Amino acid sequence: MERHICVWHKENSDNSDEVGELIIDGNLVEFYSRFHGEVFPSTFIGRDGDHGYKVFVNGSAKHSERKSLDFSSSHRVFCVLMQNYQFSKGIDISGIKEFSFEIPELIKWIGTKTVEFAESDLGTLGAIELDMKPIVLKQADPHIEIRLESKSFNNSIRGNDNVSLTINSVPRIFVDYGEGQNIEKLMDDINCLMQFFGLLIGTVSTVDDIRLTVEGQKLKSWLYINRDFSYNLRTQDILDKPRTYYYVLADNLERYYESWRSFYYDETYELLRRIYFATNGRKELFAEEIFVEYMRFLDGYHTRICGDEETKRKIKESLKESTNKIKELLFNDEGKALFEKAMVKADPDWKCNSTHIKEIAGWIAAGYLGKTQLSYRLQELDKMFYSIIALNAADVEKNTRNSQRYENKTSEELVQNYFKELGDTRNFYSHYKLDKSGVLEIQQICTSITVLKSTIIAILLSHMGIDKELIRKIIEFDNELHWQTMCLRKEDETPFLHPSQIEKNEE
């Protein structure tokens, strides 16, 4: 964590300078100052030691326990620029031609050493940096690749290099736009990459050491973003083993990333994707909240791929345009008598008029959608993605304090009951209903969260274009999911080995 307490001035303001406190901890940035009442986007510039800092803020924020500056206001930070020369004026960051950053978990996924002990000609101990061929994710627009970067010189000169030297070589992601882009584009691309590697590795924490190459600037700038890019840290396994390794996906990695990028920028699925990754961020949630969000994802996904929304729209348009035709078809002498007889039973004052005709037309449209209940949509989706929900149904149904709920029921009855209870539980918690009948117990909800998450991950991996058999193997041995996905394993299958283990076996 960095803490910079120094004098700051508000850009484009005649106000006197004030003391302020800048706190940087990974992708969490806080700024406190004695500039009070700031409600509009603004920037503050300060210098601590050899570096200058420009803080971009927008309104106020809740202060945390990290704050140490008395009589100060808390500002909502968007980002911070650090550089050793004069800042460009304004609240915009644009003209970004290239940027690079690190993901701490990336080295585990690559699975190879970047440094190694060595022996000198004199027989003394030494250390060397190893080479690695760049890993290309995208050829152009923008060009994206992973390559090693040596930090040995920078680390050593900070210490006493007469008695110790530090060898350090880390994988780094480089994004080259070729032409200037703004910070919103940069943040989108970082988020896209973090979600991509989050799914492949199983967890990602922070975006570290972001460096910018900006048009018209000879030196690089450092960027700190106040945004949670993490994924799945709450359920990180004690073994800390990645979900996949680079060698597993190497042959088609470019295609996988291109497919994911298309999915990421597809507005059709944007809300669903955001729901899933927001649910797996740093924010603490109740189990019931996570369950509801996963059900929302699966419900919305099925609606999109089966075309119900489009069909609904067409029906509504058709009904709107064809009121007279509907009247002719439904309210001829025979139809009118039928409707009047049925409606008058329920409402003696009901009259067959144009207003009621439109209402009935609306019922027809709504009735079409009503026929596909949540449990039905979930079951259809489950069949498309390995039947994980159905295969776990019996175990979840029997994990209850009320044995009468599953006694004397066949396997198929337990499956149907589970799908229905998933829908009833979602409705209970999302609509705050009073009737709790048919709602899963908390221990069943917790197991169901992993069941639903396994299905969602399979869906997201499929949008990378990964082969269905490979997806099955990825999720069946996953550290987090395997208790609910081991049912997918085939005889004699083994998990992905660490690259070092493969080398030993080959020897």
CA gap 45, 54 in Å, rounded: 4
Q: What share of the chain is helix, strand, coil (3-state, %, to 5)?
A: 45, 20, 35
Q: Where are the alpha helices (DSSP H) in 202-266?
A: 246-249, 253-264
pLDDT tens series, the chain, 507 aa: 999 999 999 998 888 899 999 999 999 999 999 998 888 999 999 999 889 999 999 999 998 999 999 999 999 999 999 998 888 888 889 999 999 999 999 999 999 888 888 887 888 888 888 889 999 999 999 999 999 998 776 655 555 666 777 788 899 999 999 999 999 999 999 999 999 999 999 999 999 999 999 998 888 999 999 999 999 998 766 567 899 999 999 999 999 999 999 999 999 999 999 999 999 999 999 999 999 999 999 999 999 988 656 655 665 565 555 555 555 655 566 656 666 666 666 667 666 666 665 666 556 555 544 445 788 889 999 999 999 999 999 999 999 988 877 788 899 999 999 999 999 999 999 988 777 888 999 999 999 999 999 999 999 999 999 999 999 999 999 999 999 999 999 998 999 988 888 877 765
**Closest Cα to residue 9, out of 33, 39, 38, 31?**
33
- In degrees and rounded to multiples of 5, residue 450 shows phi and psi of -70, -40
Residue that has been written with the tokens 């197991």 in this structure = 447
SS3 of residue 145 by DSSP: strand
CA gap 416, 419 in Å, rounded: 5
CA gap 417, 400 in Å, rounded: 13
Q: Sort strands 143-150 and 135-138 into parallel, antiparallel or unpaired.
A: antiparallel
CA gap 166, 153 in Å, rounded: 8
**Closest Cα to residue 485, out of 451, 458, 461, 457?**
451
Q: Could you tell me if 377 and 303 are in contact, meaning their C-beta atoms sit under 8 angstroms apart?
A: yes
CA gap 50, 34 in Å, rounded: 23
The tokens of 77 are what?
Answer: 């930070």
- DSSP H/E element including 310: helix 308-321
- pTM for this entry: 0.86
**Backbone region of residue 99 per phi and psi (left: phi > 0; alpha: psi in -120 to 50; beta: other values):** beta
CA gap 4, 330 in Å, rounded: 75
280 exposed, middle or buried (CB, 10 Å; 0-12, 13-18, 19+)? Answer: buried
Q: Could you tell me if 112 and 245 are in contact, meaning their C-beta atoms sit under 8 angstroms apart?
A: no
**Closest Cα to residue 452, out of 286, 319, 255, 298?**
298
The tokens of 501 are what?
Answer: 């283990």
SS (H, E, C) 371-429: CCCHHHHHHHHHHHCCCHHHHHHHHHHHCCCCHHHCCCCCHHHHHHHHHHHHHHHHHHH
